Structure 1
Amino acid sequence: MDSREFSREELRDLRSKINSRERKRMHDLNTAMDSLREVMPYATGPSVRKLSKIATLTLAKNYIQMLS
């Protein structure tokens, strides 16, 4: 067997590992976004919907620029 060829089982295992790493990466990213939302003014409160990732980053960027 050529070193670049994988059995179905090996491919399934490799794909599973790749998917697991991606799920962890997305979980870590979502946790970081939630942490950022918690410290941003106007991003939390009873009448505020959860901001999207892009809205959170835009708000954070604008807030940092305002502080500068």
Structure 2
Amino acid sequence: MSRKTVVLLNTPEGRELVMASCEANGFGFAEFEELVKAQVSHAGDPNRYHMYAAFDDILDRIKAEKN
């Protein structure tokens, strides 16, 4: 299995589960997926600064879009 894969998001059932959870919590699935991709792309990186910076950018954009 690839280290760059989130199994839950690779199955239709898993995607539906995550989508329903995002919807129930008022969070967009696309944004969730973007956050997961940022985390996966920095997996194993000893310096988490880049991952946190990516999270900040994504969450700032989400906040700006909601206002």
Q: Same fold (TM over 0.5)?
A: no
TM-score under structure 2 normalisation? 0.31
TM-score by length of 1: 0.31
Pair member with larger Rg: 1
